[in-house]
Structure 1
């Protein structure tokens, strides 16, 4: 396999503090020469101020003394850098050269960045730039008994940055998780190599929430059961995860149909709120419409009535008016009476139920909202809904849900998706 063309970036200082300027240039040149000959790059990029360019002349002399050549334009180039104490200016200059060799060059290059020399600001800027663009970083160490690395003792230290990259990956995962980009989280986690990070549990968490966001409760529960919430990565959300696990467990395992359905309703409402937080108001309102419909269906179940197959004998036993029953019979098709949202609530009103009364009292308002939903691009029309449309609809749905079951506030709390505290210090993770 053909070796990549190796490019060495070096920042050039102005000599050593303990020596006269000319001698300082020569000593620094000797150290830089030592690094170059150890790395053996195809090309060197020096970042130097006008004052420090003299050092590079002495590097050329070092090559000549060894019977070799080091020619500007052929073997190296000098990139002027005068704002040696301006972090942003230094960073941008280093960055521009990375772009030049990585993206504007036809050759396949590998860049190594030596941040040893130069001012502290230059070194910091190069180290950060290398970290940002995932370049190999090196520093030169050796015998420092005199306070500086003694010539002839130089050792090149390659900096192992995988733990830092893993920290950044973990932080990115937390941000993406809060933004409900669960698939992106899973992709980012695949790059983490630090065994101290419990990425399997994190991956299960993301898969659980992805499934839950798509209303696949069984799969969400199975994945969430395999999250070790005692681990430090989850310390700021562990209480919420316990609530979520309880809610999903109830949906999947509870023998109480009403309790199960109430948790599903709460989950659907929270799901709609999540879509609204992503500014997907048409999507959010579509879920609210289903939640409003589900609330009526849950209440009708308590009367042993199914919206998808209404038994008129049950209606008669519950003193529903003959006129209303006849009206329902007119919709019979294939031997079944199927009713939608409005008729669900009107039937509840006939049953003298609180939900039905609430609907009738607010019928005009609710009909206006459902018309907007029907005209939405995600229903039957081409219009887009607004935050105001969503907020108005949400208020009605939550009112209806609370009338459905007095425990609805608890159900809503336990089905609310956990979110990480992004203010936590990264080193605490």
Structure 2
């Protein structure tokens, strides 16, 4: 029974017969015996100690109502915690006692990392009542039991999925890694491996990374998802498991793969086709931060959404430098601006306080507010709308005074939701289908 230098404790639920308990003590040789007994079975516990000549530590806990599952659970839970607090390794035997006592003991042991024991028989003739009754004296055999929750890593699977649903990817990964290490059944082991791949992809995506490191190489996330879907669909049992337990999960994986394929340039630089998919992606990311209660983080992202709306509109007008787009920037091309603004360009430069326009550099940059001002002076509807929109400007000012910007004020949920709603509306001014793409790029959810 001993696996190290720690002392061992044996919890015994006491029923109407002493023989199974005697067998347990003789074979397991514990340092401490903890009896869970009713008033009527205390004498059985005393008899067990006498017959085994046990000289170790003895503890008792009376279950007043042995037909109460609630009391049985509470008393058993307390006994387990008491022993573990005193650094015992614990074995729980659930042979004796009423059904509520046994059930309460088993429930209390769930997740406690203790061993299970049951005294059965080594022979089909070892029970009375034609093999349907209790074990006969002399036919007892201890049968170690595996905790099915541990055997199938039930808690780790459920916790991992719940953490994934709440965007806690590191915690999700830890739980699924633990599940994978516990499992011996090949199908469940394969499932846990697939879940870990899913977590890795979405963890990377949530951090704005478009690549994942696999075997010392960087692979675009859209290809990672495509490879993952191929792995899933090559095994009908896996597909059935997903469809049965997590309705809609696989279809959203496909949607996400299509979204990422549109967002990520295969040549590792941006172009005018894929830059627009950063907008719904940023909005989704901000929404996830709101769901987590990280309102300052959400508003920081929404500020970037507002800026991106203006930059993308400037790009639609054809004045953003193409080379800067390829380098993930939105610098204004001087010649393109001059040609677009025609005779008004000098007046606009003055209003925006743009200096050194005649320098040798072919581009210049704008801050967020001046992005909208530029649109306004170019008589664009989004620029005109923003300049008159005092509500959104007040919410953005709260962001400027927040602890993650230039001040020390925290952002609350109401502020974050307001700016999120405003940001979605501005995104729709630029792209009427933005909510369709947001849905396409939304993270899937496990059914818990």
TM-score class normalised by the smaller sequence = 0.7 to 0.9
Q: Deviations over 1:48-88 (max 9, x none)?
A: 1221111123324423xxxxx335xx442322221212222
The CA distance in 2 between the partners of 1:312 and 1:75, in whole Å, is 87
Q: Where does residue 144 of structure 1 map in the other structure? A: 127
3-state SS of the aligned residue for 1:54? helix
Which of 235, 243, 252 is matched with 1:240 structurally?
252
2:65 paired with 1:83: yes
Checking the alignment, whether the CA contact within 8 Å between 1:176 and 1:184 is kept in structure 2 is yes
Which of 6, 9, 21 is matched with 2:8 structurally?
6
Q: Where does residue 304 of structure 1 map in the other structure? A: 318
Checking the alignment, whether the CA contact within 8 Å between 1:254 and 1:260 is kept in structure 2 is no
Higher mean C-alpha deviation, range 397-406 or range 299-308: 299-308
Q: Where does residue 278 of structure 1 map in the other structure? A: 292
Q: Where does residue 19 of structure 1 map in the other structure? A: none
Q: What's the TM-score once normalised by structure 2's chain length?
A: 0.82
Q: Where does residue 211 of structure 1 map in the other structure? A: 204
2:143 paired with 1:157: yes
Higher mean C-alpha deviation, range 36-45 or range 122-131: 36-45
Q: Any residues of structure 2 matched to 1:147-226 within 5 Å, and which?
A: 147-161=133-147, 164=150, 166-192=153-179, 193-194=182-183, 195-197=186-188, 198-219=191-212, 220-226=221-227
The CA distance in 2 between the partners of 1:319 and 1:217, in whole Å, is 36
Q: Deviations over 1:325-378 (max 9, x none)?
A: 33346344885532111211222233333322322342x223222211100111
Q: Where does residue 27 of structure 2 map in the other structure? A: 38
The CA distance in 1 between the partners of 2:426 and 2:99, in whole Å, is 64
Deviation, structure 1 residue 279: 1.4
Q: Any residues of structure 2 matched to 1:314-325 within 5 Å, and which?
A: 314-319=336-341, 321=344, 322-325=346-349
Distance verdict in 2 for CA 1:2–1:244, change over 3 Å = closer
2:377 paired with 1:345: no
Q: Deviations over 1:305-332 (max 9, x none)?
A: 2385433432232235231133346344
The CA distance in 2 between the partners of 1:409 and 1:77, in whole Å, is 64
Distance verdict in 2 for CA 1:76–1:332, change over 3 Å = same
2:123 paired with 1:109: no
The CA distance in 2 between the partners of 1:44 and 1:123, in whole Å, is 17
Q: Deviations over 1:108-144 (max 9, x none)?
A: 5211001111011110011111223121111111223
In structure 1, the gaps of 5 or more residues are 16-27, 64-68, 423-429
Which of 220, 243, 250 is matched with 2:262 structurally?
250
Higher mean C-alpha deviation, range 310-319 or range 249-258: 249-258
Deviation, structure 1 residue 201: 1.4
Distance verdict in 2 for CA 1:331–1:286, change over 3 Å = farther
Which of 378, 382, 387 is matched with 1:360 structurally?
387
The CA distance in 2 between the partners of 1:78 and 1:413, in whole Å, is 59
3-state SS of the aligned residue for 2:332? coil
Q: Where does residue 18 of structure 2 map in the other structure? A: 29
Q: Where does residue 218 of structure 2 map in the other structure? A: none
Checking the alignment, whether the CA contact within 8 Å between 2:23 and 2:142 is kept in structure 1 is no
3-state SS of the aligned residue for 2:59? strand
Q: Where does residue 427 of structure 1 map in the other structure? A: none
Q: Any residues of structure 2 matched to 1:383-398 within 5 Å, and which?
A: 383-398=409-424
The CA distance in 1 between the partners of 2:105 and 2:330, in whole Å, is 67
Deviation, structure 1 residue 2: 4.7
Checking the alignment, whether the CA contact within 8 Å between 1:35 and 1:156 is kept in structure 2 is yes
3-state SS of the aligned residue for 1:139? strand
Checking the alignment, whether the CA contact within 8 Å between 2:120 and 2:143 is kept in structure 1 is yes
2:396 paired with 1:374: no
In structure 2, the gaps of 5 or more residues are 213-220, 321-328
The CA distance in 2 between the partners of 1:360 and 1:129, in whole Å, is 63
Deviation, structure 1 residue 246: 1.1
Q: What's the TM-score once normalised by structure 1's chain length?
A: 0.86
Which of 41, 47, 54 is matched with 1:52 structurally?
41
The CA distance in 2 between the partners of 1:268 and 1:331, in whole Å, is 32
Deviation, structure 1 residue 162: 5.2
The CA distance in 2 between the partners of 1:77 and 1:343, in whole Å, is 76
Q: Deviations over 1:235-268 (max 9, x none)?
A: 4211111111111122223688333122111010
Checking the alignment, whether the CA contact within 8 Å between 1:262 and 1:408 is kept in structure 2 is no
Higher mean C-alpha deviation, range 382-391 or range 177-186: 382-391
